[in-house]
Each structure stands twice: as C-alpha cells, then as structure tokens.
Amino acid sequence: RRSRSKQSSVSSITDDQITDLVSKLQHLIPELRRRRFNKVSTSKVLQETCNYIRSLHREVEDLSDRLSQLLASTDSDSDQAAIIRSLLMQ
Amino acid sequence: MNNPHHLNPTSLKSRFTTRFLRALTKIRAQKPISSSSPTEIFRRYRRIKVAADKSMAYSVRSRRIWSRAMLWKLRSRSYRRQDPCSGRRSGKTNQAIMKKSSNENTTTRREDGVGFVEEADELRQLVPGGETMNLCNLLDETAHYIKCLTTQ
C-alpha cells in the first residue's frame, strides 16, 4: 500500500493503516460506537479510548474489592456466599 | 454468571475463568478465617487483583506485546519481593531493553503534524508496554487489551 503522506519515505506506517486501526478502535468503545457514521476525529477516539480503559481499570479494582469482601464472608449464609462456595468447590 | 459448561473451552473467556477460579480457590485456602483488619483486607484485595491480572496475562501468554510486558512486570515484582538486590538489577536491564526498542520505533513520535501525539502518549501510559510501541502497534494492542479487560 502506498501512503499519501509526504513523509512516507521515512515512516513505514501508512495513513490508511492508521485510519483502519482507529475506526476498529472506535467500534470497541461504547461511547463512540453509535456515532460510527459521523466522522469522529482520531484525537477524540484516542481520548475516549483512554477514558474507557481507565473506567475498565476502576471496574476491575471495584470488582476485586467486592470479591475480597465476599471471600471473607464465605462462612456466612448469604446467597452470594453460597454461589462463591459452589464455584470454588469444583 | 455464565454456566461454565456453555463456554467454548478454547475461548479467552473460558481460559481466563478457569485460571482465575483456580487462583481464587488458592487464595481462599490461604487466608485465616476471620480477619477484618484493614491491612488484611487490603492484602487480600491485592492478591485477588494480581490474580486477575495474572490470569488475564497467562491466558494470552506471549502472543501480544502488552501481555509480555504485563507478565514481565508481574514476574519482576515477585522476584523483587524475594530478593531486593536482584530486583534492582533486573529493573535496570529492562530499562535498557525498553529504551533500545523505543528508539527503533519512535518514527511516529516526531513532529509530523499528525496532531494526536499527546493523546497517543497518554494511551501509551495506560496500555502495558505501550512506551515501546509505535502508533500502529499501539492501536492494535489497545484493541486487544480492551477486549481482554472486558473479559476480565
């Protein structure tokens, strides 16, 4: 593929490749998925990607926290404790 | 929660879930029965979080730059805890390796008028191993990393 960029003689990455990858990324981000047919700037896609990754990280931390509390309470009678116990007994 | 019997056994989800459940069982076996001191709670939380990251990274193995970077980080962290001296040494070596590969791949970090260098750098800090990636790899790795994070 030949790049349309003037500096393509130095870079081996084509503009087309980048556009493809960016649109593929856009599709993965819930915030931007519905705007697929309006052009979203690459800058915006990258920005939203960062925000999305950060929120996923927070969600993992939150879930780990909840799991940690659940594991501590597996000796109790709650429904959730029973589910965890049955999962871990396999 | 999904019934494990309905998962495709070779899927990422299934590989991750198996590993993670195994790790949780181990963690549950280790802990003392009722310890609710803040330090204990935090330690358990850390162990679970690390187990989740480990399960994720090992499910992908070395097929991806980000998983290799994460595995390296996880391993060097455990070495450092065992022997503080060796940790410092391997840290320096890895910095040298990282610098070398980032020099080879920095073609997109120059002023080429593309206009999203700052956002790309921000993304590099969020994706494991991102500092060494050129833009093309970064975008590709990010997509896979996001897929795995949602699985996690």
For residues B139 and A18, the answer to whether their CB atoms sit within 8 Å is: yes
Q: Is residue B5 part of a domain?
A: no
ipTM over 0.85: no
Regarding whether B72 and B22 lie in a shared domain, the answer is yes
Q: Are A71 and B49 inside 8 Å of each other by CB?
A: no
Whether B18 and B65 share a structural domain = yes
* Averaged pLDDT for residues A21-29: 88
Asked if the structure places residue B2 within a domain, the reply is no
Asked if B151 has any chain A CB less than 8 Å from its own CB, the reply is no
Total domains present in chain B: 2
B115 CB within 8 Å of a chain A CB: yes
Instruction: Place B125 in a pLDDT band, splitting at 50, 70 and 90.
Output: very high
**Secondary structure of residue B134 in the 3-state scheme:** coil
Inter-chain Cβ pairs, chain A and chain B, closer than 8 A: 105
Q: Are B59 and B9 in contact (CB under 8 A)?
A: no
Of all residues in chain A, what percent carry a pLDDT higher than 70? 64
CA distance B88 to B83: 9
First to last CA, chain B: 13
Domain of residue B33: give its range: 12-80
pLDDT at B96 over 60: no
- Whether B44 sits inside 8 A of A49 (CB atoms) is no
Fold of A15-89: MYOD Basic-Helix-Loop-Helix Domain, subunit B (4.10.280)
Q: What is the pLDDT of residues B16-51, one digit of tens each?
A: 988 898 888 888 777 665 566 778 788 888 889 999
In a domain, B89, yes or no: no
pLDDT in tens, A31-68: 777 766 667 788 888 999 999 999 999 999 999 998 88
Asked whether residue B140 is domain-assigned, the answer is: yes
